[in-house]
Structure 1
Amino acid sequence: MLDLVGLRGSEKKYPGQLSGGQQQRVALARALAPAPSLLLLDEPMSALDARVRDHLCSELRQLQRQLGITTLMVTHNQDEAMLMADRIAVMNNGQVEQYDTPQAIYDKPATPFV
């Protein structure tokens, strides 16, 4: 599992010895360990700086494809959503304003809110 998330060699480190990105990878490894059919992520990159966030988003997307796992990710970051998603649900006050591909949402927003 550590190979899968790029943490080989960190087995004996304590959480305080890991960077924010490494801590996120540990959390991801724990979530993937029982081989779930659905991965739920709630603002997984919100505490990371932009450079680390962009890198981890790319790695997570690769991992998603490699494992073939369906992932539901909640984010308020438009860039994360566009990078990570096959489909996006844009919500406003608990209501779905548009559910579509990232490209369609960008090119043809269904409402002024979107």
Structure 2
Amino acid sequence: AHGHPGLTQSPAFVSVSLREGVSITRGANESVSDYLSWYQQKSVQAPKHLIYDADNLKSGVPDQFSGQWGGTDFAFTISSLESEDAGTYYCLQSNSYPPTVLQVRSSAPQILSM
């Protein structure tokens, strides 16, 4: 049986101001297929499927979201952040891996306590 390629996602947490852009990257230690999806999850809601096959936008998803693929490197970009874009973003291939948490600042940075 073949093991899964080693995958890394970065950053694990990012805090970005409104209307700025942000990219989340996923790298592998070997070439992998483009069967990769990006999901957004807010609070207790079910994850929303945004991107499929690495760079294809799901129907109804705003075009400020995009995905890129380069063999071993994947990227997910939001071109102009709105407050409703805050949430947890997951990249899924054939397994699940740690997510990236995105915080969108309305003005001054906010301190979150857990």
Q: TM-score if structure 1 supplies the norm length?
A: 0.25
Greater relative contact order (Cα 8 A, min sep 6): structure 1 or 2? 2
More strand by share: 2
TM-score by length of structure 2 reads 0.25
Name the larger-Rg structure: 1
